[in-house]
A and B are shown apart, each in its own frame.
Chain A
Amino acid sequence: MLEDGRLVDAEIVDTGTDPLARVRELLAGLGHDPGSGRGTGSCPAPVVATGYGRHLVRARLGFPVITEIRAHALGASMLFPGCRTVIDIGGQDSKVVRVENSRQTDFEMNDRCAAGTGRFLEVMAATLGYGIDEFGSMALDAREPAAISSMCTVFSESEVVSLIARGVDKHSIALGLHESIVLRLLALVGRVGAEPEVVLTGGVALNPCIRMLLEKKLCVRLNVPEQPQIAGALGAALSVADRGKPA
């Protein structure tokens, strides 16, 4: 939620299997009642939807939508005004967005599979018995990375199982997995370039091992927002912040 263009409140919840219910709950917490469709409820301020469920929210609640690519470009630019490149590693996809004056000028995004995304890390952490919050720091404890040749979530899982069976150190496997995802990201970055300043957004930005590896391989300093998960939501809110309140 923004007030006079400043962030005043933010809340993060899992989308779960009923995203509309989550949206209603979140809005209720902010004193909004979206009702059952266009204009049937009461919202004291404009609302914008972004992310994978955006069209569902538009269809059912009538809010406008923007893509998360534009949203992250806007959000990252507000947090770091010198931002020229956004690397967003989300749950479902990862993207690299080139930015000029808060607007995207070019972008690359992984298509279809979960390789190189937060989902990959989630599945791999679970396979190794780590919580997602500790996965990065556990990987940083490794002396050397295990070689992981597959970038595919399904194949990597079997590769990890065989590494465990061979007695390879869990920390090393974790580091190897992080290197694998960063390698995948570097291919995306390579297509559009990473001009400084570079901002890392999305939940995966909280992972210290990913941050360290990306900085090392890209030879740039990464700007990481305090709450990288909300950069997209912030950008979405900014996209209507100057339009005033709806009638």
Chain B
Amino acid sequence: MSEHNQVLQELGLDVALHDEMLASVDRTFGQTVGAQTGRPEGMAYFDSALHAAHGGRVAELVDLKKNGTKTVGTFCIYVPEELAMAANTVPVALCGGTQFSIPYAEKRFPRDICPLVKSTLGLAFSKTCPYGPLKSMAVGETTCDAKKKTWEILAGKVNFHVMELPQKKDQLDIDLWRNAVYEFKDKLESLSGTKVEVENLGTAIKVMNAKRRALQRLAELRKADPPPISGLDALVVMQAALNDEPVRFTAALDRLHAELEERMARGFSPLPEGAQRVMFAGCPAVMGNWKVHALVEQSGAVIVADESCTGSRYFENLIDETARDLAGQVDAIADRYMKINCACFTPNQERIDSIVEKAREYGVKGVVQYVLQTCHGYNVEAMRVEAALKKAEIPSIKIVTDYSEEDAGQLRTRIEAFVEQLS
């Protein structure tokens, strides 16, 4: 048994099944991301960061755990990473993007909940998620019904904390969210024994803002016509962002930017000439899930912007760094996260306006609205988004799907016809 599998076995994983699961992810990766040509050399880092999510990164966190640094599992980009870092814990996203694990969740959970929740649970139930046993605390949030009820079931088995995210953005809601952020800080402190203070929090804010700036710069480079990078590769960068060590990640991203700028200077683009510029908007596409991005780009379009949790929602808006006391810093954190426009809010005009604005800013010909099957928020909100885009004379198509391949034929036809319509 390899040294790494030894580590996994010590974590209590089903090593053979874990190998099978990774092989299935590798296969999908090879057919989508790996099948592209003209990829930037700098992508090698992010490809390996994705693989390291089940390899090197796990070993790193096991070592950190031995030295007393705790890992905190999260399921949503509303959970402030800065606080976890300041409290000397490591936040790691636990969202599953693999079809492979879903049957393991369906053995116990209802089939008609979203694939992201099912895949995440399936990884845990099948003992193929190294972060499950690794984490010292899991942090849920109240963004959707399937998640809320799932937390209740998981809470009995692990140290589980739930942040209450409000449903509206009025003052009462802002106050509630600030309280939730404070409560999270207290939880982290009692977990790690490290006090969150002006200095360590200030450092964490700077680290995360630097990471956000780097991601914003990548988004900026994708505005170029033609873009120097495919939407699939930009997605891989985003997926890596959710698990990788932030300082190392930012440095690697800066190196990628330099390469992309050099490509732009000599007029090189990996995309076919005349590829239609398209924006992706809606649900996240986490590690393992390259389905719709690949279909869109294999149909002769290029995704130049992602309005999703694996896109702009993750890196837009910096945290105000000018606060000089802890209360000011924590409020600044709460305020930044409150600006994320998730479809769980009502009303949600800010998101609708921002999609139209982005579509213009990135010069897209059309928008692909992506809805994970049974995600009612994004599915119903898509109607208002479509209407707003129509008014702005921007065509859009809504794709409702899960992680399986059973609808690949129909989706390919629909997406190709949409791209044909744009040209």
Contact = CB atoms under 8 A, between A and B. Distances in A.
A112 B406 contact: yes
Given A111-B400, A111-B401, A69 B407 contact: no
B409 A104 contact: no
B159 to A, nearest CB: 39
B410 A109 contact: yes
Given A104-B421, A111-B400, A67 B407 contact: no
Contacts of B401: 111-112
A70 B401 CA distance: 23
Interface stretch (B117-125, B210-218, B331-339, B411-419): B411-419
B143 to A, nearest CB: 25
Nearest to B409: A52
B420 A68 contact: no
Interface residues of A, number: 18
Contacts of A104: 417, 420-421
Interface residues on B, range: 10 to 19
Contact of B414 (A92, A106, A109): A109
Contacts, number: 43
B411 A111 contact: yes
Interface centre among B406, B407, B421 (most CB of A within 10 A): B421
A224 interface: no
Contact of A93 (B406, B410, B416): B410
Interface in B383-422: 400-401, 406-407, 409-414, 416-417, 420-421
Contacts of B417: 67, 69-70, 104, 107, 109
Nearest to A107: B417
Nearest to A66: B420
B395 to A, nearest CB: 8
Interface string A88-103: 0000110000000001
A111 B407 contact: yes
B421 A111 contact: no
B420 A109 contact: no
Contacts of A112: 401, 406-407, 410
A127 interface: no
Contacts of B411: 111
Given A67-B416, A111-B400, A105 B421 contact: yes
Nearest to A71: B417
A103 B422 CA distance: 11
Nearest to B419: A67
A52 B412 CA distance: 9
Given A111-B400, A111-B401, A92 B420 contact: no
Contact of B413 (A67, A103, A105, A106): A67
B420 A111 contact: no
A106 B407 CA distance: 21
Contacts of B420: 66-67, 69-70, 104
Contacts of B416: 67
A93 B412 CA distance: 13
Contacts of A52: 409, 413
A160 B321 CA distance: 67
Contacts of A55: 412
A92 B414 CA distance: 13
Nearest to B406: A112
A93 B421 contact: no
B409 A92 contact: yes
Nearest to B298: A55
Interface string A157-173: 00000000000000000
Contacts of A70: 417, 420
Interface of A: 52, 55, 66-70, 92-93, 103-107, 109-112
Closest CB pairs A-B (n = 6) = A69-B417, A112-B407, A67-B417, A67-B416, A70-B420, A67-B413
6 contacts: A55-B412, A107-B421, A109-B410, A110-B410, A111-B400, A111-B401
